């Protein structure tokens, strides 16, 4: 068998690799809505709220930094080192403590943000999109 035949015989079992096909796809330009956030002042610390997503509405109106609310509630509720204060959703916070088995249990639930004010802020943010 000649050298050419041996080379051809060795290549017979091999599949030829397909050449990559290049496609050019043109997409229409998509306009992404921009949000012009309000810059309210925190009702607790008096500093501007840069990102409205980091704010929570106050029970008596206005907005506060989430971290300021946490600090305020820790002081108000006299949270000890053995307890934890956490946001539990829908405008509510809770003070947690551990039971005898080490499981976290809610000691106190603290309603803070009303459903109406939460919904109002959500509508406002949606309304300022361009």
According to DSSP, the β-strands at 104-111 and 92-98 are antiparallel
Evaluated on CA atoms 89, 90, 91, 94, the torsion sign reads negative
> What is residue 51's predicted lDDT score, i.e. its pLDDT?
83
Three-state DSSP class for residue 30: coil
pLDDT in tens, 32-48: 776 666 678 999 999 99
- Residue 28's φ and ψ, nearest 5 degrees, are -70, 150
- Give the domain ranges of the chain: 35-122
**Lowest mean pLDDT across 88-92, 100-104, 117-121:** 117-121
pLDDT digits (tens, 9 = 90+) for 60-96: 888 899 999 999 999 999 999 999 999 998 889 999 9
What is d(CA 130, CA 127) in angstroms, rounded to the nearest whole number? 8
Token pair recorded at residue 88: 């539990």
Instruction: Round the CA-based radius of gyration of the chain to a whole number and report it.
Output: 30
**Side-by-side strand order, sheet with 92-98:** 84-89, 92-98, 104-111
- pTM for this model (two decimals): 0.64
Give CA–CA dist 107/99, Å, rounded: 10
Ranges of H-type helices in the chain: 3-12, 66-76, 115-127
């Amino acid at each position: 068998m000649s050298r050419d035949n041996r080379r051809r015989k060795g290549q017979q079992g091999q599949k030829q690799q397909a050449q990559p096909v290049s496609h050019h796809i043109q997409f229409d330009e998509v306009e992404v809505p921009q949000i012009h956030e309000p810059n309210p002042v925190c009702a607790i610390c008096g500093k501007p709220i840069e990102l409205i997503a980091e704010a929570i509405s106050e029970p008596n109106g206005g907005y506060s930094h989430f971290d300021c609310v946490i600090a305020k509630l820790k002081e108000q509720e006299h949270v000890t080192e053995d307890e934890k204060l956490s946001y539990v959703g829908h405008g509510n916070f809770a003070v947690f403590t551990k039971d005898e088995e080490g499981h976290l249990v809610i000691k106190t639930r603290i309603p803070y943000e009303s459903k109406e004010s939460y919904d109002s802020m959500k509508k406002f943010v949606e309304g300022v999109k361009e």
